Amino acid sequence: MITKKRVAVVGAGMTKFMRRAQETGKELAYEAARMALDSCGLGIEDIECVTMGSAPDAFDGVHMKGEYLIDGAGAWRKPYMRNYVGGGTGVFAPIHGWQHIASGLFDTCLVVCEEKMSSCRPHPQAAFLTIFDNLTERPLGPNLVWIFALEMHRYMHVHKIPKEKIAVVSVKNKRNAMDHPCAQLAQKITVDDVLNSEILAWPVQRLDISPTSDGAAAIVLASEDVARKITDSPVWIDGVGWNLDTAYWTNRDLYYPQYVENAARMAYEMAGIKNPREEIDFAEPYDPFDYKELHHMEGLMLCKKGEAPNLAWEGVTQRDGKLPICPSGGLLGVGNPIAAAGLMKICELFWQLRREAGKRQVPGDPRTAVAQAWGDLMQVGTVVVMRA
């Protein structure tokens, strides 16, 4: 792959993630974007283009949400594009921004992701129901949790994973999130708390799931020459990958996210990574459910298929372990405003690789990290590799 310019992240910002915010979507986008600009001392006039990631209009209840958010996203009278691939959006938005600069078209780009799910009543889940085929699936009266339950159960069955080894991920991430100032659901829980929580659709229980949230995040991207003028410690986007699988989800074996592996291969090849397990210092895979973190670790080839639960159980994925996973606290601990959640992970990579993560700082000298998001009908994998 030939790119015209190397791209770095030079600034980042985010709002608190909350169950319901007073701020409008525009105000949330503004707060994150403003913070990102302030973090690197830039004004809006320094930004040449803006990309915005936001999940369905049906959540905020605003038609053409991309256009609605423009003024809060700093895109007034600028080249602007919206992107959306379900939950994968948060990691896809920086890829989209990366394309703007790597192509040689622009030198700076502001990437913003926003979600305000609390407007949707009685519960945002109702807007999700149309993800099921209206003719062949909705008449059965499915609940969104069913898809996750079916996938989780298949994963557990193929690799003979006991529930405790999955529950431990929820415990870890909510505990990690206690060091994250924006976290919505940071708390100390035990594996037993998870195993005793309400069974929604076995094997999914209440404490396996991340919350719905309102929130926004933003990053500033710059081409190499410009980045070096803005900051002494740019963080390079060295690899990007994205891949989607068929919507016929009942025609695939759900135990393994092949589309995440495909996206990861694309990103690793670009970044020159031959042995991800050895070369990646820490990772932020997407964790809307606890089993998903493990599912995605395997898709990212950070371990063998079926091995992730053992690594989690043995503490290898703790912040001070050999391969820290979700040091931020992930979606399970920080929150899940659909598009902003993935970008929060990118922000985490940025702060970690610059040693600015405070109490969440991964020890040692992390130089290479990977963030991944997932979305739609068990379909999309988006992967970004960043290096200090």
Partner 1 sequence: MSVKIKEYAGTPLREEDLKQGKVLLVDYWPKANYIWSAGTAIGRYLAELKNGRIVGRQCNKCGRIVVPPRMFCESCFRPNDRWVILKDTGVINTFSLSHITADATRIKEPLIPAVIQIDGTTDAGILHLVGETDPEDVRFGMKVQALWKPPKERTGSITDIKYFRPIGR
Partner 2 sequence: MGLTEKIRSPRDMIHVEGEIPVNYLYTAGVAGERFLREIKENAKILGTKCRRCNTVHVPPKIYCERCFERLDEWVELPSEGQVEAFTTCHFDPDGSRLAEPEILAAIRLRDADESIVHRIKEVHAEGVYIGMKVKAAFKEKKDRVGSVLDIDHFKLCAP
Gap between the terminal Cα atoms of the chain: 21
φ/ψ region of 301 (left if φ > 0, alpha if ψ in -120 to 50, else beta) reads left
Binding of residue 197 to partner 1 (CB under 8 A): no
Identify whether the C-beta of residue 267 lies closer than 8 Å to the C-beta of residue 384: yes
Binding window for partner 2 (CB under 8 A); candidates: 20-28, 218-226, 246-254, 267-275: 20-28
Compute how many other C-beta atoms are within 10 angstroms of the C-beta atom of residue 157.
Answer: 11
- Least distance between partner 2 and beta carbon 120 (Å): 5
Please name the helix (run of DSSP H) or strand (run of DSSP E) that holds residue 307, with its range, or none: none
Compute how many other C-beta atoms are within 10 angstroms of the C-beta atom of residue 211.
Answer: 18
Using the minimum distance from each CB to partner 1, give the nearer residue, 30 or 268.
30
Supply φ then ψ for residue 14, to 5 degrees: -155, 160
Binding of residue 16 to partner 1 (CB under 8 A): yes
- Least distance between partner 2 and beta carbon 317 (Å): 37
Binding of residue 184 to partner 2 (CB under 8 A): no
Q: Is 53 helix (H, G, I), strand (E, B) or coil?
A: strand
Identify whether the C-beta of residue 303 lies closer than 8 Å to the C-beta of residue 313: no
Binding of residue 145 to partner 1 (CB under 8 A): yes
Partner in contact with 254, chosen from partner 1, partner 2, none, beta carbon below 5 to 8 Å by kind: partner 1
Using the minimum distance from each CB to partner 1, give the nearer residue, 132 or 259.
132
Q: Which residues contact 323 (CB under 8 A, 6 or more apart)?
A: 277, 280, 282, 283, 302, 303, 311, 316, 317
If you write DSSP's letter for every residue of 213-263 in order, what string do you get?
-EEEEEEEEEEHHHHHHH-S--EEEEEEEEEE--S-GGGS-TTS-HHHHHH
- Least distance between partner 1 and beta carbon 377 (Å): 11
Q: Which amino acid is at 257?
A: P
Identify whether the C-beta of residue 326 lies closer than 8 Å to the C-beta of residue 176: yes
Give the tokens for residue 146: 């069913």
Binding of residue 342 to partner 1 (CB under 8 A): no
Binding of residue 301 to partner 1 (CB under 8 A): no
Binding window for partner 2 (CB under 8 A); candidates: 93-101, 120-128, 297-305, 314-322: 120-128
Binding of residue 356 to partner 1 (CB under 8 A): yes
Site residues (CB under 8 A) for partner 2, limited to 23-52: 23-24, 26-27, 30, 33-34, 37, 43-44
Classify residue 142 by its DSSP letter.
Answer: -
Exactly one of 1, 2, 121, 188 binds partner 2 (CB under 8 A); that residue is 121
Size of the site for partner 2 (CB under 8 A): 33
Q: Is 267 helix (H, G, I), strand (E, B) or coil?
A: helix
Exactly one of 251, 274, 363, 365 binds partner 1 (CB under 8 A); that residue is 251
Binding window for partner 1 (CB under 8 A); candidates: 1-9, 178-186, 229-237, 284-292: 178-186
Binding of residue 215 to partner 1 (CB under 8 A): yes
Question: Which residue carries 């423009």 as its tokens?
Answer: 70
Binding site for partner 2 (CB under 8 A): 20-24, 26-27, 30, 33-34, 37, 43-44, 58, 61, 70-72, 74, 76, 118-122, 126-127, 129-130, 134-135, 138-139
Binding site for partner 1 (CB under 8 A): 12-23, 28, 31-32, 35, 39, 61, 118, 122-123, 125-126, 129, 132-137, 139-143, 145-146, 149-151, 153-154, 157, 180-182, 198-204, 214-215, 246, 248, 250-251, 253-254, 351, 354, 356-358, 360
